């Protein structure tokens, strides 16, 4: 029997589940929402014990202040708090140069500039909220094997453990990642810009505590970031490393001994955290800028990494995707309230136009900054250093930069005294 749903979300990673939660909170109870995920999602009550699929892997995510506001509206933030480490300061420097600056939440009367959470815990909180709200039907493992336009929407052929069934979607939300097979089936072309670099990621233990400070250090090989994490038993002082390197260097450092790895990282980063004494499991992945040439059409929206996957500098990719989620759900809800179908092209165009400037600004920043700091021209280097130092003497410039980094400029939120007393740091178990 053919099934019909008002909205089908294809992809149950962090963006897909966030979409499901926001839609469930924004739309009337009669709206039928289906989430499809090709990996097995944990059943209710099993989120903490089951193996996580690749979206909830060993990586960590830096959530901007705007993402906090969005997750608070979804009723997810309270569940997340015990796993979050606030970023109270960001130290930006350029290796071998005098330029540096420090961004501090206290200067703006904020509780934090952002928060760092390991993806596994973020996934647990999102899935727990999804099961708790009970509005969205989730099927896994299930994947779309074919699709075609149908009556203003999309007819999907979905394969699960029971076989292949036809499902009609009034609105299809494509959230299946940067290598989106659905975009290919839909004929949505993708622009890719390889950076000829890999991101090497690992958790690092140090002798000195990070005290809520995130470090962004630009080197001649690429940016190196150490983000504050909550402590664990045996590793009270932990940070998440994101180290951008040429592919051969990344592979060499991924496979070398722990002693050799820590020695090289110490030499590149310095002693701001004292001696680096332990590294966890190391992973690497190639970096590229991915942009879908088409994000909306009648009955279809491309979101998350399928729409745009960014360089990890400044940690803007997932936060931009969450702002897209918030804006998209607002547009759909406004249309439904006015009697329009969820896949109405006019409403989807409202979303695209509303997010266009935010996307262009954030993607442009993430694309240009790494290349700027890798230039060897000495005059350009002096200019970079003066710009970094000058931020400390130009409060308006620094304020604008902080608002952009925190994502609140895109949301139209003021730098206000909300959550003023919330400066505690969660402590992870084990």
- Report the pLDDT value the prediction gives residue 47, as an integer from 0 to 100: 60
In-domain check, residue 167? yes
Q: How far is CA 112 from CA 87, 240, 423, 425, in A?
A: 5, 17, 7, 10
- Torsion angle, CA of 39/45/50/53, rounded to 10 degrees? 30
Between 331 and 430, the more confident residue is 331
Average pLDDT over residues 60-65: 92
Same-domain check for residues 325 and 390: yes
- State which of 287, 312, 343 marks the end of a domain: 287
Is 253 in the same domain as 283? yes
Q: Is the pLDDT of residue 394 over 90?
A: no
Same domain, 219 and 314: no
Q: Can you give the pLDDT at residue 419?
A: 47
334: in domain: yes
Domain C-terminal end among 232, 263, 287: 287
Supply the pLDDT for residue 157. Answer: 97
Contact (Cβ atoms closer than 8 angstroms) between residue 198 and residue 394: no
The CA distance from 37 to 40, in Å, is 7
Label residues 169-182 b or e (16+ Cβ within 10 Å = b).
bbbbbbbbbbebbb
How many structural domains does the chain have? 2
∠ CA 394-400-405, nearest 5°, is 125
Mean pLDDT throughout 32-48?
85
Q: Is the peptide bond before 141 cis (omega within 30 degrees of 0)?
A: yes
- 8 A C-beta contact, residue 171 and residue 297: no
The reply to whether 355 falls in a domain is yes
* C-alpha to C-alpha distance for 378 and 386, rounded to whole angstroms: 12
* Residue 92 placed within a domain: no
Asked, for residue 178, whether it belongs to a domain, the answer is: yes
Residues 120, 146, single domain; the answer is: yes
**32 and 164 inside one domain:** yes
359 with 384, same domain? yes
What are phi and psi for residue 332, nearest 5 degrees? -65, -45
Specify the pLDDT at position 398.
58
pLDDT at residue 219 in the model: 82
Contact criterion met (CB below 8 Å) for 83 and 118: yes
Same-domain check for residues 255 and 336: no
What are the structure tokens assigned to 273, written together? 């955290």
Cβ(14)–Cβ(22) under 8 Å? no
Are residues 158 and 222 located together in one domain of the fold?
A: no
The average confidence (pLDDT) of the chain is: 85
* Residue 109 in domain: no
165 and 225 share one domain:
no
Residues 307, 179: one domain? Answer: yes
Residue 376 DSSP code: -
Q: What is the CA radius of gyration of the chain?
A: 22
The CATH number that applies at residue 73 is 3.50.50.60
Query: In the listed set 252, 287, 322, which residue is the last one of a domain according to the structure?
Result: 287
Q: What contacts 6, CB < 8 A, 6 or more positions away?
A: 31, 32, 33, 169, 170, 171, 341, 342
Q: Residue 399's pLDDT band (boundaries 50, 70, 90)?
A: low
Q: What is the pTM of this model?
A: 0.87
Residues 6+ apart with CB under 8 A from 164: 145, 157, 158
- pLDDT for 336 beyond 60: yes
Are 258 and 311 members of one domain? no
146 domain-assigned: yes
Report how far apart the first and last C-alpha atoms of the chain are (Å, whole number): 48
The mean pLDDT value for 197-225 works out to: 92
- Mean pLDDT value across residues 281-305: 96
Residue-wise pLDDT tens digits, 106-132? 888 888 989 999 998 999 999 999 999
Residues 220 and 298 in one domain: no
Start-end of H helices in 256-305? 258-269
Neighbours of 368 (CB within 10 A): 12
What's the CATH code of the domain at 222? 3.30.9.10
180, part of any domain: yes
> Which domain, by its residues, includes 59?
3-82+115-190+290-411
Rounded to 10 degrees, the C-alpha dihedral 302/285/20/26 comes to -70
């Amino acid at each position: 029997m053919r099934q019909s749903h008002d909205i089908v979300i294809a992809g149950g990673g962090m963006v897909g589940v966030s979409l499901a939660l926001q839609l469930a909170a924004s739309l009337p109870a009669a709206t039928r929402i289906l989430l499809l995920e090709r990996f097995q999602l944990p059943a209710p009550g099993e989120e903490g014990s089951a193996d996580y699929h690749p979206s909830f892997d060993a990586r960590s995510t830096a959530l901007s202040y705007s993402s906090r506001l969005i997750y608070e509206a979804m009723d997810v933030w309270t569940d997340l708090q015990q796993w979050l480490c606030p970023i109270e300061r960001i130290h930006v420097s350029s290796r071998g140069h005098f330029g540096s600056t420090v961004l501090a939440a206290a200067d703006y009367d904020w509780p934090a500039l952002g928060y760092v959470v390991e993806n596994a815990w973020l996934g647990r909180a999102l899935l727990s909220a999804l099961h708790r709200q009970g509005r969205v039907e989730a099927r896994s493992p299930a994947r779309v094997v074919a699709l075609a336009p149908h009556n203003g929407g999309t007819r999907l052929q979905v394969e699960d453990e029971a076989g292949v069934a036809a499902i009609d979607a009034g609105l299809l939300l494509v959230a299946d990642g940067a290598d989106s097979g659905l975009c290919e089936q839909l004929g949505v072309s993708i622009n890719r810009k390889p950076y000829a670099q890999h991101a090497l990621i690992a958790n690092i233990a140090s002798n000195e505590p990070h005290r809520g400070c995130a470090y962004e250090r630009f080197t001649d090989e690429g940016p190196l970031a150490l983000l504050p994490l909550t402590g664990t038993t045996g590793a009270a002082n932990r940070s998440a490393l994101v180290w951008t390197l040429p592919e051969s260097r990344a592979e060499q450092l991924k496979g070398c001994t722990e002693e050799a790895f820590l020695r090289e990282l110490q030499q590149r980063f310095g002693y701001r955290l004292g001696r680096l004494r332990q590294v966890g499991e190391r992973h690497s992945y190639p970096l590229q800028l991915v942009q879908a040439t088409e994000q909306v059409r009648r009955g279809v929206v491309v979101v998350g990494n399928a729409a745009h996957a960014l360089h990890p500098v400044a940690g803007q990719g997932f936060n931009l995707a969450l702002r897209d989620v918030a804006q998209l759900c607002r547009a759909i809800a406004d249309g439904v309230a006015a009697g329009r179908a969820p896949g109405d092209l006019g409403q989807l165009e409202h979303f695209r136009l509303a997010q266009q400037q935010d996307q262009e600004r954030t993607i442009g920043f993430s694309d240009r900054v790494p290349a700027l700091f890798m230039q060897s021209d000495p005059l350009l280097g002096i200019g970079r250093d003066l710009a970094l130092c000058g931020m400390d003497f130009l409060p308006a410039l620094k304020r604008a930069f902080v608002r952009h980094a925190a994502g609140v400029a895109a949301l139209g939120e003021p730098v206000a005294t909300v959550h003023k007393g919330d400066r505690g740091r969660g402590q992870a178990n084990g």
